[in-house]
Amino acid sequence: MFDVYITGASKFLPNEPVSNDEIETKLGLINGKKSKAKNIILRNNKIITRYYALDENGNSTHSNAELTRSAVENLQNENFSLKDIQVLSCGTSTPDQLLPSHSAMVHGLLKNHSLELNSSSGVCCAGMNALKYGYLSVKSGNSENAVCTGSEKVSTWLLADRFEHEAENLKSLEEQPVIAFKKDFLRWMLSDGAGAFLLQNKPVGKTSLKIEWIDFYSYAYELETCMYAGGDKQKDGSIKPWNDYKTEEWLEQSVFSIKQDVKVLDENILEKGALSMREALKKHNITTEDITYFLPHVSSGYFVDKLHDKLYEYGIGVPKEKWFMNLPYVGNVGSASIYLMLEELMNSGRLKKGDIILLSVPESGRFSYAYAYLTVV
pLDDT value of position 304: 97
Instruction: Name every residue whose Cβ is closer than 8 Å to that of residue 19 and which is 6 or more positions away in sequence.
Output: 48, 49
User: Is pLDDT above 60 for 177?
Assistant: no
What is d(CA 130, CA 115) in angstroms, rounded to the nearest whole number?
15
What's the whole-number mean pLDDT along residues 33-47? 92
Indicate whether 170 pLDDT > 80. Answer: no
Displacement of CA 273 from its chain's centroid (Å): 16
pLDDT band (50, 70, 90) for residue 174: low
Phi and psi of 264, rounded to 5°?
-65, -35
- Exposed (0-12), middle (13-18) or buried (19+): which is 174, by Cβ within 10 Å? exposed
Residue 68 pLDDT: 99
pLDDT digits (tens, 9 = 90+) for 253-266: 899 999 999 999 99
Determine the pLDDT at residue 33.
Answer: 86
**What average pLDDT score do residues 53-61 get?**
94
Query: What are 58-104's pLDDT values in tens digits?
Result: 999 999 999 999 999 999 999 999 999 999 999 999 999 999 999 99
185 Cβ neighbours under 8 A, 6+ residues apart? 37, 41, 260, 262
pLDDT for 184 equals 81
Question: What angle is formed at CA 314 by the lines to CA 311 and CA 320, rounded to 5 degrees?
Answer: 25
Structural domains of the chain, with CATH: 4-205 (3.40.47.10), 212-222+259-376 (3.40.47.10)
pLDDT tens, position by position, 318-347: 999 999 999 999 999 999 999 999 999 999
Over residues 143-163, the mean pLDDT reads: 96
196 or 184, higher pLDDT = 196
* pLDDT(164) > 90: no
CA atoms within 13 A on the CB side of 205: 20
Which comes out higher in pLDDT, residue 173 or 159? 159
More confident position, 185 or 224: 224
Q: What pLDDT is attached to residue 123?
A: 97
Residue 106 — very low, low, confident or very high, per pLDDT cuts 50/70/90? very high
What's the pLDDT score for residue 172? 61
Please give the mean pLDDT across all residues of the chain.
Answer: 95
Cβ-contact 149, 68 below 8 angstroms? yes
Q: Can you give the pLDDT at residue 182?
A: 73
pLDDT of residue 175: 62
Full-prediction pTM beyond 0.85? yes
The yes-or-no verdict on residue 167 having pLDDT over 70 is no
d(CA 290, CA 374): 11
pLDDT value, residue 295:
98
Nearest to 25 by CA among 40, 35, 13, 36: 35
Which of 163-172, 250-259, 364-373 is the least confident region? 163-172
Residue 179 is predicted with a pLDDT of 61
